Structure 1
């Protein structure tokens, strides 16, 4: 009996140890004396480096979600290519790209234009799927997508730094655990409607976040080095908050260029006249293409800010570079422009390819050898 009791105690200890090894430490309130840039930042509306607003470059983050194809690239070529900021550096735009039906030759083209290529999942399935996603599922969706994207678009894996989860659906700690394993730097999924004026600056999850949780579950653990770029909500024409422009309920008419322009400016000025937290213009290309007034207003807005000496359209990763090492506006303007080493594409047209998830034959445009089957979860190279 004694030996049985000792064996039982030992088994309980081993099981408890295994469980505790997987339990992440809860995040504690931020200690500003210990949490210092460049690797740690408390969640706060305070400007990095304690600069005054007029000393801060106003960053504008224009982002597009979902697949890249011959239809939407026409918009990108027409309104984005060859634009420059007032410091004569090319503008930055970030693309959060989902896999299905994406043309990887065109992803390579966007990369070579100097834009940021980032992740938006392989499957882009329903919201509940991501709400319930654990670490292993997020590894399949995003770590594998990083491998897939780099391989078929022929771009460096090291250039892929960020992600946005479909439907802006948080996954608790899972996605941020995955980020560390996958070598990803930041997440730009988490909306805030509470911290809009002044806006919430990017921060790390070393300590407890003050950000409101709009699409739970939100992270609760201490996850050192994982950067959060808050999606600061806009206010629509009925004073309702919306994280994506095309998710706003009350909007100007489809052809109302002046109405769209005023709407954009009203939301931009809350940042520009406040603590200059990054101004996010988060949207899907289809909305720009099908709303002529919005398209013209967006061009007008870019023309305006590209001529302003203290406003800069940049990739999300570039904005984070500044947050980690903040310098006054005058010094920022003197910095050399971002350089992108061209990534050569050896184009190939592939298909028909059998897919594991649909009774449909797929075709792919890639910058690599054609896969044997359509790349998917668990087989990102289609081997």
Structure 2
């Protein structure tokens, strides 16, 4: 009987650990920038649409590799916004197969490096049910890897996106609060597209629709959400990632016009940040995809009120809005100008352990000796030793 009571008590402690947030209440006038904003389609700072810059978020998910980096170099090198800052993409990087020397190159070029987990498990139930501790292992651990292996200051890694956009209820946001992350960009909205929903904090209850639940219900002061404003297919169906939109046009010109029509859903209303969210593998499907993408970037670059910036830069602006007329003169973004990479690539053949299975992985890091094993969950810096785990039986 005593043992049963002890088990029950321990279970309550575990539940209390996972549910530390208080239930969020309806947003009110106490929520004020720079550290709090209600979920809303209202333009920050009370600005009129004509006085508001149109931000465009260009994001890529998954590993950074020798295969996709040539696309990024060709698309972005030499491009600048109207304030002379470089056009910046945001890379939501997953760990496995990533070349950390190329992550360093993208960071040095002025892009933002954000997180997409270590394992990128294909089991969506894993993400749905993940505990705060598991998520800290996945994302906090990956930030440690970025700092060690790609030479990126930990404080510059601020954002994350859940794999498959599968939310974990309150747990991912509790992890973000505990670990000092700034923003999440995993939550699609279909109900707030035109006009679009602006980024907001989770101090109070969110009015955003929940597309892939469970969505947060708790209060997480100072943790930001960048809503993923969905696109609309030619047949009228919503899609969160561009490469999941069905019925794409099959000519470069028509595809560009399709991009433009989705962009105008926010551009011609309240100028909420427009996202071009995609996996680079989509460029491999057809040559017209990348050609239309570059033409779309040319089009955006010629619009005087458009700024192609990172997720963290959008949050900085929402915290302290600057009218369009002052964007060129205030140095508001404090952007990082492109710099020569300072990474000496090191190639390593390493033993990876996952669920008691051993495999060999090649990896490339910056300026470090090869670690003892392949960095992974609960082994973020590769310090574990697996003995003969990966030794080939015929050797």
Question: Please, what TM-score do these two structures have when normalized by structure 2?
Answer: 0.90
Quick check: 1:376 aligned with 2:376? Answer: yes
Native 8 Å contact 1:87 1:309 kept in 2? no
Quick check: 1:362 aligned with 2:357? Answer: no
Stretches (4+) displaced over 3 A: 12-23, 340-343, 354-359
Partner of 1:152: 149
* Alpha-carbon spacing, 1:274–1:79, altered in 2? closer, same or farther (3 Å): same
* Alpha-carbon spacing, 1:309–1:14, altered in 2? closer, same or farther (3 Å): same
1:356 Cα deviation (Å)?
3.3
* Alpha-carbon spacing, 1:70–1:23, altered in 2? closer, same or farther (3 Å): closer
Native 8 Å contact 1:355 1:375 kept in 2? no
Partner of 1:179: 176
Q: How does 1:192-203 map to 2 (within 5 A)?
A: 192-203=189-200
Alignment partners' CA distance in 1, 2:12 and 2:335: 50
1:259 Cα deviation (Å)?
1.2
1:270 Cα deviation (Å)?
1.1
Native 8 Å contact 1:85 1:307 kept in 2? no
Native 8 Å contact 2:21 2:174 kept in 1? no
Partner of 1:38: 34
Native 8 Å contact 2:351 2:358 kept in 1? no
Quick check: 1:241 aligned with 2:238? Answer: yes
Measured against aligned partners, the alpha-carbon deviations of 1:283-302 in whole angstroms (never above 9, x if no partner) come to 00010232222211111111
Q: How does 1:248-327 map to 2 (within 5 A)?
A: 248-253=245-250, 256-327=251-322
1:133 Cα deviation (Å)?
0.7
Partner of 2:133: 136
* Alpha-carbon spacing, 1:348–1:197, altered in 2? closer, same or farther (3 Å): same
Bigger mean CA deviation after superposition, 303-312 or 162-171: 303-312
* SS of match in other structure, 1:60: strand
Measured against aligned partners, the alpha-carbon deviations of 1:272-317 in whole angstroms (never above 9, x if no partner) come to 1000000000000010232222211111111111122100100111
Q: How does 1:185-224 map to 2 (within 5 A)?
A: 185-224=182-221
Alignment partners' CA distance in 2, 1:260 and 1:138: 37
Partner of 2:392: none
Alignment partners' CA distance in 2, 1:174 and 1:69: 30
* Alpha-carbon spacing, 1:285–1:16, altered in 2? closer, same or farther (3 Å): closer
Alignment partners' CA distance in 2, 1:293 and 1:274: 29
* Alpha-carbon spacing, 1:363–1:35, altered in 2? closer, same or farther (3 Å): same
Partner of 1:87: 83
Give 2:101's match in structure 1, choosing from 87, 100, 105: 105
1:18 Cα deviation (Å)?
8.6
1:248 Cα deviation (Å)?
1.0
Alignment partners' CA distance in 2, 1:272 and 1:138: 35
Native 8 Å contact 2:83 2:327 kept in 1? no
* Alpha-carbon spacing, 1:18–1:297, altered in 2? closer, same or farther (3 Å): closer
Native 8 Å contact 1:60 1:313 kept in 2? yes
Alignment partners' CA distance in 2, 1:180 and 1:152: 24
* Alpha-carbon spacing, 1:382–1:352, altered in 2? closer, same or farther (3 Å): closer
RMSD across aligned C-alpha pairs, in angstroms?
2.1
Native 8 Å contact 1:355 1:362 kept in 2? no
Structure 1 unaligned regions, length at least 5: 1-11
Partner of 1:345: 343
Partner of 1:3: none
Native 8 Å contact 1:257 1:297 kept in 2? yes
* Alpha-carbon spacing, 1:349–1:198, altered in 2? closer, same or farther (3 Å): same
1:185 Cα deviation (Å)?
0.3
Alignment partners' CA distance in 2, 1:213 and 1:379: 34
* SS of match in other structure, 1:285: coil
Partner of 1:56: 52
1:353 Cα deviation (Å)?
2.9
1:181 Cα deviation (Å)?
1.9
Native 8 Å contact 2:352 2:376 kept in 1? no
1:89 Cα deviation (Å)?
1.7
Native 8 Å contact 2:352 2:375 kept in 1? no
1:150 Cα deviation (Å)?
1.4
* SS of match in other structure, 2:302: coil
Measured against aligned partners, the alpha-carbon deviations of 1:138-160 in whole angstroms (never above 9, x if no partner) come to 01110111101111101111110
Question: Please, what TM-score do these two structures have when normalized by structure 1?
Answer: 0.92
